[in-house]
Amino acid sequence: MIKFTGVTKEYLKTGAALKQVSFHIARGQFAFLTGHSGAGKTTALRLIYLAERPTAGEVRVSGFSTARAGPREIPRLRRRLGIVFQDFQLLEDRTAEENVAFALEVTGARHTTIRPRVMRVLTQVGLAGKANQYPRELSGGEQQRVAIARARVNDPVVLLADEPTGNLDERATRGIFQLLKDINASGTAVLMATHDLDLVRSMDAHLIELQQGEVVYDSAEDAAGRQPVAP
Amino acid sequence: MSLVLRETALAFRRAPLLSALSVTTIAFSLFVFGLFGLVAVNIQRAIGNVAERVEVVAYLKRGTPLQAVALAAADIEAFPEVESVQHVTEQEALARARRDLREFQDIFQDLETNPLPASLDVRLRPAFRDVQRAAAVAERLAALAIVDDVRYGREWVEKLDRLRNIAGAVGTVVGAAFALVAIIIIGTTIRMAVLHRSREIAIMRLVGATDGFIRRPFLLEGILKGLLGGVLAVGLSYGGYALIDAYLLRASFFTAAQATLGVAAGGFIGLVGSLVSVGRHLRST
């Protein structure tokens, strides 16, 4: 469903962020993308939602290919993805409900269907009672829940999370992580970039480790580098 | 559509200061252009008033029968350039000279015979009040059998022509410069509004908004700000005009059509400014 084939991404100023990266994340999987800061995790995610194009190689996401997708297809791809960031990326002057509804409005969803769907996902993330509050009135963990609700409201095939717990304390981190696992349990694939090894160790999930732009470990292939045993 | 309206209203409500600033900036740039426009309009009107006096006078041979004059006058009136023809008899010419040329009153008073010839005073239509047309009409009049001599104040009309050309050229160049400055200032203001919301635009894109969807509220916002600025500019220009008219010199204001055109131009500049600013922003991110 997400397939990197020999992907290299070079920047003019900083050089190669990814070198010959190949991996595959299957439908419905929970996968971790780990590595130190600057290992290339964020670049890999940006390639998935087509904020960047690879210098070489190909990224395929749910039927879209970086080799073929034109600019007009980018919005169509993003509506099938849910994206969550470390800094939440909420609109400060809209309430939690409006932030979530926004993701539906841009797709041209029917007005009458928006509110019920928004309230449903806000309930799922445990924020039904705070729908009318603005981001500044919410804690970090709650803001991230709004962001997750927004990412989820379009029923994405995969949820991309870039250090979603990076700004949160331990308790909020556990809550968000549990939420991501719940979402995965309902059938949505989750790809989470993190350098929190405690989280990674706490779960038996697909693990891809990047180091200086290269894949140094992929649990889907065994240590000797032979073909994957279970994709 | 209702979503676009709501987003536009939201943009005004969320950044009232910036919105007010853009509207004011647009208003003042259009106001400067409007003041220039007022000057241009008034100069044009003044020239028009002077040009009204462009007249070709055909002096008639002595003793031309009235019937022949009437026939000739009818022919001349049928010329495409001609607005009206007036027959001035010898007595009327003398009376006019006595009235208009007071300093020579004594001379005219003591005359035993009337030395002034009768004439046909030919007024040209507004579009034909220039040297070439006046000369062409004069030439045709001179060819008539009853006409002795033709005058149309050639040098004076030539000067008028030159003045008209200069006013036209200066007006076009200065007007274009003012319009360009207004467009640049307005474009910059709108660019500020776009940058102010760049984070929002980035988030819209992340959740899958198309560029068209992102652009629409900005375009509507640009048009509205431009129209508001235009209305304000017309108001300011009217204030300026009223002051000048009351304390400096008699002036005239824009016609309703010109004022409407000014407001529409504000809206148009707002639209183009937003189109360029948002387009550039969307392409660069």
CATH of the domain at B98: 3.30.70.3040
Is residue B191 a part of any domain in this protein? yes
Touching check for A67 and chain B: CB below 8 Å?
no
Is residue B175 a part of any domain in this protein? yes
Average pLDDT of the segment spanning B136-153? 85
Q: What is the pLDDT of residue A181?
A: 95
Q: How many residues does chain A have?
A: 231
Tell which of B114, B132, B151 closes a domain.
B151
Q: What is the pLDDT of residue A222?
A: 57
Q: What is the pLDDT of residue B52?
A: 76
Examine the domain organization and report whether B198 and B76 are in the same domain: no
Q: Which long-range contacts (CB under 8 A, 24 or more apart) does B132-136 make?
A: B133/B81, B134/B54, B134/B56, B136/B81
Examine the domain organization and report whether B37 and B86 are in the same domain: no
Is residue B261 a part of any domain in this protein? yes
Across the interface, whether the CB atoms of A102 and B208 are under 8 A apart is answered no
pLDDT digits over B184-230, tens only?
877 787 788 888 888 888 998 999 999 988 888 888 888 998 899 99
- In chain B, pLDDT over 70 holds for what percent of residues? 99
Is residue B242 a part of any domain in this protein? yes
Examine the domain organization and report whether B61 and B43 are in the same domain: no
**Nearest-CA distance B10 → chain A (Å):** 10
**Nearest-CA distance A224 → chain B (Å):** 38
Please say if the pLDDT value at position B94 is more than 90: no
Is residue B258 a part of any domain in this protein? yes
Examine the domain organization and report whether B34 and B166 are in the same domain: yes
Q: What is the pLDDT of residue B263?
A: 92
Is residue B156 a part of any domain in this protein? no
Examine the domain organization and report whether B42 and B60 are in the same domain: no
Across the interface, whether the CB atoms of B207 and A78 are under 8 A apart is answered yes
* Residues β-bridged to residue B119: B59, B88
Please say if the pLDDT value at position B114 is more than 90: no
**Nearest-CA distance B15 → chain A (Å):** 10
Give the best residue of B18, B197, B201, B206 to mutate against chain A (max A CB count within 10 A). B206
How many domains does chain B contain in total? 2
Touching check for A110 and chain B: CB below 8 Å?
no
Please say whether the beta carbons of A220 and A32 come within 8 A: no
Measured between CA atoms, the residue of chain B closest to residue A84 is: B206
Examine the domain organization and report whether B92 and B28 are in the same domain: no
Q: Which residues contact A207 (CB under 8 A, 6 or more apart)?
A: A31, A32, A34, A200, A217, A218, A219
Touching check for A91 and chain B: CB below 8 Å?
yes
Half-sphere exposure of B26 (CA within 13 A, CB side): 35
Examine the domain organization and report whether B167 and B274 are in the same domain: yes
Residue in A91, A103, A154 closest to B200 by CB: A91
Examine the domain organization and report whether B85 and B180 are in the same domain: no
- In chain A, pLDDT over 90 holds for what percent of residues? 79
Residue in B2, B14, B209 closest to A75 by CB: B209
Across the interface, whether the CB atoms of B203 and A89 are under 8 A apart is answered yes
Please say if the pLDDT value at position A95 is more than 90: yes
Examine the domain organization and report whether B76 and B14 are in the same domain: no
Q: Say what the ipTM of the complex is.
A: 0.85
Measured between CA atoms, the residue of chain B closest to residue A77 is: B208
Please say if the pLDDT value at position B111 is more than 80: no
Please say if the pLDDT value at position B1 is more than 60: no
Across the interface, whether the CB atoms of B208 and A91 are under 8 A apart is answered no
Average pLDDT of the segment spanning B119-135? 85
Handedness of CA B87, B92, B94, B99 (dihedral sign): negative
Q: What is the pLDDT of residue A6?
A: 94
CA separation, residue B209 to residues A62, A73, A119, A228, B122 (Å): 19, 11, 21, 37, 70
- Which residues from A are below 8 Å from B213, CB to CB? 106
Q: What is the pLDDT of residue A229?
A: 36
Across the interface, whether the CB atoms of A79 and B200 are under 8 A apart is answered no
Across the interface, whether the CB atoms of B206 and A83 are under 8 A apart is answered yes
Domain interval for residue B35: 2-49+161-284
Is residue B20 a part of any domain in this protein? yes
- Which residues from B are below 8 Å from A117, CB to CB? none
Average pLDDT of the segment spanning B112-133? 84
Please state the separation of Cα B149 from the chain's center in Å: 37
Is residue B60 a part of any domain in this protein? yes
Average pLDDT of the segment spanning B57-72? 86
Measured between CA atoms, the residue of chain B closest to residue A105 is: B3
Grade residue B176 by pLDDT with cuts at 50, 70 and 90.
confident
Backbone phi, then psi, for A70, in 5-degree steps?
-85, 175
Amino acid at residue number A172: A
Tell which of B108, B130, B151 closes a domain.
B151
**What is the average pLDDT value for chain A, to the nearest integer?**
91
pLDDT digits over A100-143, tens only?
999 998 888 888 899 999 999 999 999 999 999 999 999 999 99
Instruction: Count how many pairs of residues, chain A against chain B, have C-beta atoms within 8 Å.
Output: 41
Measured between CA atoms, the residue of chain A closest to residue B1 is: A108
Examine the domain organization and report whether B166 and B278 are in the same domain: yes
Examine the domain organization and report whether B37 and B68 are in the same domain: no
Examine the domain organization and report whether B280 and B166 are in the same domain: yes
Grade residue A228 by pLDDT with cuts at 50, 70 and 90.
very low
**Nearest-CA distance A43 → chain B (Å):** 15
Measured between CA atoms, the residue of chain B closest to residue A152 is: B207
Q: What is the pLDDT of residue A180?
A: 95
Tell which of B91, B122, B151 closes a domain.
B151
Measured between CA atoms, the residue of chain A closest to residue B198 is: A91
Q: When comparing pLDDT for A175 and B10, which is higher?
A: A175
Separation CA B274–CA B266 (nearest Å): 12
Average pLDDT of the segment spanning A83-89? 94
